Structure formats: C-alpha cells, structure tokens
C-alpha cells in the first residue's frame, strides 16, 4: 500500500492547494487531458468545439469513476480517511463534467470566464438542466463534524491540538458510506451519450434526407464506447430526439445489425478497388 499512500499524499496536497487558492502544485491527469484539447497561446485557452467538449466530458466521468473505485478499495482496506480524499476528488471531476455538459448543450458566450470557472476549485455541483441529488441529503451532523473527523484540530479549552478520528471510528465510517452513496447518485444522474445524440440531431438537421444506414452505423459505434448504455434506451432517446417512432427506429436498427456486416464488407471492398484504381491511374500519369 506504500505506492497508494504516496499517491494519496500528492492528491491531498493538490486538494489543499485548490482550497487555499495556491496554483503552483501539479494538476490532475484529466486536467492535462482537457487542456490538450486546444493549443494554449500565451497562457490563454481557446474556444472548444462540441466534439472536444464531449471528449473532456467522458474523460471527467471516467476519472470520477476511477476515484470512486479507489475510494471503495481504500475503504475495504480500512483506510477511511484516505477513501474520503478520493471521494472529494471524484466530486471535483463531476463538477467539471457538469460544466462541460452544459457548455455542449447551450454553448459558451464568454470563453475566458468559462475557463476561469473550469480551473476554479472546489466546484459546486449545481446545474440548471440536470436533476442532481442534493448534498444536503447527507446528515447535517456529519457534515458539520467533517473537519473533526478528518483533520488535526485545535481545542481552545485545553489549548492543545486534537488528533482526527481513527479509521475505524463509527462516525467516520458513516460519513464515508453516505458520501460514497452521494457520488454514486451523481454519477447515475450524468447523461450517457448526450454529445453523440446531439451529433445525430445535427447530422439530420444539416441533411434531412440522410440514409438511415448512416445513422445506424454511427449509433453502433456509440454503443461500443464507454460508459456503457442500454441499446434500447439509446435508440428510444435518439428516436424521440428526431421525432420518429421509437419502435420503428428500433426495428430498423435490428435490420441494420443483420445487414451491417455485409454492407461494411462491400464498402471495404469498394474502397480497396477505388484506392487501387487511383494508384494505377497515378502510376500511368507519371510514365
């Protein structure tokens, strides 16, 4: 567990730096990934297309899921205080995911303000469009004593420092259980394949006569991505987005799945023939 302990020390430093407003400590891998979506010039971050926002959204959700898994592993190992740190970082990433989702849904008018908000921590998990569970549902008493449970405190009566609770403290374990349930509830509330559904709507809006096979082939790619989603739920959602009958749309997708392999084989063969003809034509033109 020494490696995990070392990593947690770094994570704790990052968390404390964010809370105190310091900016000299390293950022997380996910922040690096999202920053890489555009090349920053002179310390400025650029506008990001919806596809890039979608990439960042999925990265943040995946990272939050990893933090939650890490918290569970630490809890099972009896390290409740360290598990709480991981849960806090999971909530930070979910806050970023919410901001990315809303940017993809409604657009961004002021990118400078948007980026400042993106790199501001801690984040409040608030949304005007998503139905998120409320943090206040966690027992107020446990919320108030969080500092006592997790940090070295100072008792003014005895004028001495007080050690935090031990990992096997019942109040600490209860706090961890409730907060883990909250992170899980927020993860469930995050829409899956939202950006892909917007892409489909844009495709149809730009080309109303687009062939159903093109849509079905794209949907097939969505279903192979993470996070996993119910095929029926995704098809019904897209059908509603497009104003089509969900049953008819689903039936069409079932037909596509039977014909799709043959169609892809044919398209692959056709592409190879075209490539060969271009190559031969290019060769003749150089002789």
Kindly give the residue spans of alpha helices, DSSP state H, lying in the chain.
2-20, 29-35, 50-76, 80-106, 111-118, 140-144, 146-150, 170-189, 194-206, 212-223, 231-242, 246-286
Are residues 214 and 278 both part of a single domain? yes
How many structural domains are present in the chain? 2
- Tell which of 173, 189, 205 closes a domain: 189
Are residues 174 and 199 both part of a single domain? no
Are residues 87 and 21 both part of a single domain? yes
Per-residue pLDDT of the chain (287 residues; tens, 9 = 90+): 445 555 555 555 555 555 454 443 344 444 444 444 444 444 588 999 999 999 999 999 999 999 999 999 998 899 988 898 898 889 899 999 999 999 999 999 999 999 999 998 777 788 888 888 876 655 455 555 566 677 788 889 999 998 888 888 888 888 888 889 999 999 999 988 889 889 888 888 888 877 787 788 888 888 887 767 788 888 998 999 899 999 999 999 888 888 777 666 766 676 777 778 877 765 544 44
Are residues 185 and 198 both part of a single domain? no
- Tell which of 149, 168, 189 closes a domain: 189
Are residues 153 and 201 both part of a single domain? no
Print the domain residue range for 269. Answer: 194-286
Q: Which residues pair with 44 in a beta bridge?
A: 41
Are residues 173 and 237 both part of a single domain? no
What stretch of H or E contains 9?
Answer: helix 2-20
User: What is the model's pTM?
Assistant: 0.70
What stretch of H or E contains 185?
Answer: helix 170-189
Token pair 């039936």 in the structure block, residue: 251
Using CB atoms within 10 Å of the CB of residue 91, give its burial: 0 to 12 exposed, 13 to 18 middle, 19+ buried. buried
Are residues 140 and 171 both part of a single domain? yes
Are residues 120 and 213 both part of a single domain? no
Are residues 28 and 127 both part of a single domain? yes
Are residues 137 and 211 both part of a single domain? no
């Amino acid at each position: 567990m020494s490696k995990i302990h070392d990593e947690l020390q770094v994570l704790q430093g990052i968390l404390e730096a964010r809370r105190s407003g310091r900016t000299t400590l390293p950022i997380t891998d996910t922040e690096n990934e999202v920053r890489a979506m555009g090349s920053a010039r002179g310390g400025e971050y650029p506008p990001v297309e919806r596809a890039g926002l979608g990439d960042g959204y999925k990265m943040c959700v995946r990272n939050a899921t990893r933090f939650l898994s890490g918290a569970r592993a630490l809890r099972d190992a009896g390290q409740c205080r360290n598990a709480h740190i991981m849960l806090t970082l999971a909530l930070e990433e979910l806050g970023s995911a919410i901001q990315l989702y809303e940017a993809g849904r409604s657009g961004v008018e002021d990118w400078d303000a948007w980026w400042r908000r993106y790199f501001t921590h801690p984040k409040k998990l608030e949304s005007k469009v998503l139905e998120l569970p409320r943090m206040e549902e966690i027992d107020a008493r446990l919320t108030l004593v969080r500092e006592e449970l997790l940090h070295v405190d100072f008792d003014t009566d005895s004028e001495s420092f007080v050690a935090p609770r031990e990992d096997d403290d019942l109040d600490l374990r209860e706090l961890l259980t409730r907060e883990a349930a909250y992170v899980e509830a927020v993860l469930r509330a995050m829409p899956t394949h939202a950006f892909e559904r917007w892409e489909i709507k844009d495709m149809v809006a730009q080309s109303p006569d687009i062939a159903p096979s093109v849509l079905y082939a794209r949907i097939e790619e969505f279903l192979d991505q993470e996070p996993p989603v119910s095929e029926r739920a995704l098809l019904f959602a897209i059908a509603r987005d497009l104003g089509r009958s969900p049953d008819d749309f689903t039936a069409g997708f079932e037909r596509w799945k039977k014909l799709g392999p043959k169609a892809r084989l044919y398209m692959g063969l056709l592409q190879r023939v075209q490539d060969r003809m271009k190559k031969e034509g290019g060769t003749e033109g150089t002789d």
